[in-house]
């Protein structure tokens, strides 16, 4: 069944919908490389957890949407080779026409197909896997299952991180977080819910992460100065939620 595509605009922001009121992506027309939606900004928090000068060397983006994450990575992480997997050809076409999807080149490729199947069959390691795939009813399907998360873990490099948008999954997000925790042997962290109701979860493989909150703030300030992405409030929310015991982010 084809994906119904609707485009709306309000107050200088263009929105993508899949035939329903759910917002599947957004772009501020005058600032197309900025991350307009709060959850997309938090999905890039991995740049605080690894060396943002050299990491990620490569990234897998599952679910193209309005291409927000793709535009940001393409502009601000020139060291990153990026593979996008999007199941719906209509979404790729809409991203090209309305959301300034970058042209494919030596470091950026698009595969039209099933993200879960791609991860299962691929043998390519990735530093960063971004999971943001939903249908018109905000359901993630196979992208929110134990086998999928286990397969993602097997695809991560020694510095690998997975970031997943858990918004709209059945019975809230806690069952999703439990599946991720199990797949990653407890090395996962759910960020406090954004105002939009989105919950972003991170999971790590390989090298351990232990960063003092003071260093997280310094990294957030440096990232803002370099890219315009401001994650200082995210660090504060993690601290207030008790996610940084002893003043450290451990993952």
Active site residues: 132
Q: Which two tokens stand for residue 63?
A: 């679910």
Torsion of CA 23, 28, 31, 36, to 10 degrees: -40
Q: Are strands 248-250 and 210-212 parallel, antiparallel or unpaired?
A: antiparallel
The terminus-to-terminus CA distance of the chain in angstroms comes to 40
> Do 251 and 202 touch, CB atoms closer than 8 A?
yes
List the strands of the sheet with 188-190, edge to edge.
108-112, 81-86, 58-62, 126-131, 156-165, 200-204, 188-190
CB-based burial label for 11 (10 Å; 0-12, 13-18, 19+): exposed
Give residues with Cβ within 8 angstroms of 26, minimum separation 6. Answer: 13, 14, 15, 16, 36, 37, 66, 68
Rg, Å, the chain Cα set? 17
């Amino acid at each position: 069944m084809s994906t119904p595509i609707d485009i709306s605009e309000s107050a200088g922001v263009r929105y993508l919908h899949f035939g329903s009121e759910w917002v599947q992506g957004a772009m501020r027309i005058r600032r197309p490389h900025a991350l307009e939606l709060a959850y997309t900004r938090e999905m890039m928090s991995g740049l605080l957890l690894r060396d943002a000068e050299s990491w990620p060397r490569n990234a897998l983006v599952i679910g193209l949407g309005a291409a927000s994450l793709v535009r940001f990575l393409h502009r601000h992480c020139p060291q990153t080779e990026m593979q996008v997997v999007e199941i719906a050809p209509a979404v790729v076409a809409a991203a090209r026409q309305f959301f300034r999807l970058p042209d494919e080149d030596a470091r950026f490729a698009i595969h039209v197909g099933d993200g879960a199947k791609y991860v299962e069959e691929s043998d390519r390691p990735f530093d960063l896997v971004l999971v943001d795939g939903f249908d018109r009813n905000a359901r993630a399907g196979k992208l929110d299952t134990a086998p999928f998360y286990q397969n993602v873990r097997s695809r991560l490099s020694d510095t690998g991180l997975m970031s997943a948008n858990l918004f709209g999954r059945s019975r809230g997000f806690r069952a999703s977080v439990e599946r991720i925790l199990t797949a990653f042997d407890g090395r996962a962290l759910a960020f406090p819910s954004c105002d939009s109701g989105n919950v972003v979860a991170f999971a790590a493989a390989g090298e351990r992460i232990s960063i003092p909150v003071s260093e997280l703030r310094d990294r957030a300030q440096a990232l803002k100065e370099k890219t315009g992405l401001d994650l200082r409030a995210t660090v504060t929310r993690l601290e207030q939620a008790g996610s940084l015991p002893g003043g450290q982010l451990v993952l």
